[in-house]
Structure 1
Amino acid sequence: MTESFLIPLKGSMHIIAYGLLVPTLIILLLFVALVIVEMGSLLVEALGERRRSKVNIPELLNAFKEKDFEGIRDEIMNSSLLRRQKAALSELLKYNDLPGVSRQALARRLLGDEELYYARITSRTDLVARLGPMFGLMATLIPLGPGLIALGQGDTKTLADSLLIAFDATVTGLAAAGVAYAISQLRKRWYEDYLAGLEALMESLLEVLERE
């Protein structure tokens, strides 16, 4: 009785599991493509704006104290700060006539927007780093069922094909996850440095605007 009840269940699970093989392999290939795109983006970022961004934050903060409002604006725009850092600081300067509390709220909002922007960038590779091994494991286990059946029937060719798919999926998932994790960690170090510098500059600007 129990065996007759389990037969259709096992058949349904086998159909579902094997039907997931193709989507899983497609997702793994998409992960690899995304990692390649992110590697190119990282290289452009490293050789582009980041390479030109050589700012001595303490010197820039001292320059703020020695200049008036217009001088500070010129100092920011002529510096080697990142484009987004300049935009955030310029936005804060644009509303210099606001009360002190409102300026502080605006500064927190601008800083929060920058944090969200950089978090969205790193979330893509974080997702691959987490899901890559999971999908690699799925694509490893799914072909093993037919492979074991083929082994029992003496069909070594089907067994070899199933094992080849399983090993390739494991390597692909782990490779994509490993590279994505390295990209995420490198970018997070960069972005933490950007945000720390931006926060220091905003605090100095708020002090200058309060004095003005």
Structure 2
Amino acid sequence: MDSITNILYWVSTGLLIPVIALLLFGFVRALMLLGGFFGMYINRLKYESHIQDFLKQFSENKITENDIQEKITGNKLFKNHLLDIVKYKSNENHIEKILSDFEIASEKELSSSKSLAKLGPMVGLMGTLIPLGPALVGLANGDIASMAQNMQVAFSTTVVGIFAGAIGYVTQLVKQRWFISDLNNLEFLANTLKNKN
């Protein structure tokens, strides 16, 4: 029994360095995601300021591809799919495929936020639990310095993991709302085109 517990102890202790490396990668990824999200937010402000007028104009008049190129700014994904819808407006099946492709592209864009929101806290928890074993051994042996160092590692990994997870979660929520709004607008425009034909 002692040999089995020793093997488990060495395996878990050996995972500490990969876990810390993953946490550092997750932290850098969270900062990059936050920067990309900020840029997306700035572009979104441009897009939001024009989209309602564009939707009203689209339902009242005939809009060309040049109008879309000029008036839809700040949302490349939406613009490209709208151009495809206008291009294949007479083919209902093709429009359904374009809308499905937009959903897939949106999910792909959300995947990094989703994975960070789930994996950040998990890896942070691993980084918390792994040093607790050596910390308890240090406490039992009266080595307070070793215990303090291990507890510092444990708490630091928790904070980094939760930070990365929080960035992932918040960006996922906001992006999800944006993509649902875009899909709703695309469906409205596709139905408007269908009724005009």
- Asked whether the two chains share a fold, i.e. TM above 0.5, the reply is yes
Match of 1:14 among 9, 14, 31: 9
Deviation at 1:14, TM superposition (A): 0.8
What are the equivalent positions in structure 2 for 1:112-127 lying under 5 Å apart?
A: 112-127=100-115
Deviation at 1:180, TM superposition (A): 1.4
Identity, % of aligned positions:
27
Deviation at 1:165, TM superposition (A): 0.4
Match of 2:173 among 185, 202, 206: 185
Deviation at 1:162, TM superposition (A): 0.6
Counterpart in the other structure of 2:18: 23
Deviation at 1:182, TM superposition (A): 0.8
Q: Which amino acid aligns with 2:45?
A: R
What are the equivalent positions in structure 2 for 1:101-140 lying under 5 Å apart?
A: 103-140=91-128
How far apart, in 1, do the equivalents of 2:147 and 2:64 lie?
Answer: 71
Counterpart in the other structure of 1:85: 78
Counterpart in the other structure of 1:52: 46
CA 1:14–1:146 in 2, change beyond 3 Å: closer, same or farther? same
Deviation at 1:190, TM superposition (A): 1.2
Could you list the structure 1 runs, at least 4 aligned residues long, displaced by more than 3 angstroms after superposition: 71-75
CA contact (8 A) 2:72 2:79 kept: no
How far apart, in 2, do the equivalents of 1:50 and 1:159 lie?
Answer: 49
How far apart, in 2, do the equivalents of 1:13 and 1:28 lie?
Answer: 22
Q: Which amino acid aligns with 2:35?
A: G
How far apart, in 1, do the equivalents of 2:86 and 2:23 lie?
Answer: 47
TM-score normalised to the size of structure 1?
Answer: 0.84
CA 1:195–1:33 in 2, change beyond 3 Å: closer, same or farther? same
How far apart, in 2, do the equivalents of 1:93 and 1:175 lie?
Answer: 43
Please list every run of 5 or more consecutive structure 2 residues that lacks an aligned counterpart in the other structure.
none
Residues 43-85 of structure 1 show CA distances to partners (whole Å, capped at 9, x for unaligned) of 11111x312212115413323xx33xxx443433332253333
Residues 188-211 of structure 1 show CA distances to partners (whole Å, capped at 9, x for unaligned) of 111111111111111111222xx2
Match of 1:75 among 67, 70, 79: 67
CA contact (8 A) 2:59 2:192 kept: no
For the aligned residue pairs, the C-alpha RMSD in angstroms reads 1.7
Structure 1 position 33 matched with structure 2 position 25: no
How far apart, in 1, do the equivalents of 2:182 and 2:168 lie?
Answer: 21
Q: Which amino acid aligns with 2:84?
A: E
Is the radius of gyration larger for structure 1 or structure 2? 1
TM-score normalised to the size of structure 2?
Answer: 0.90
Match of 1:145 among 133, 140, 153: 133
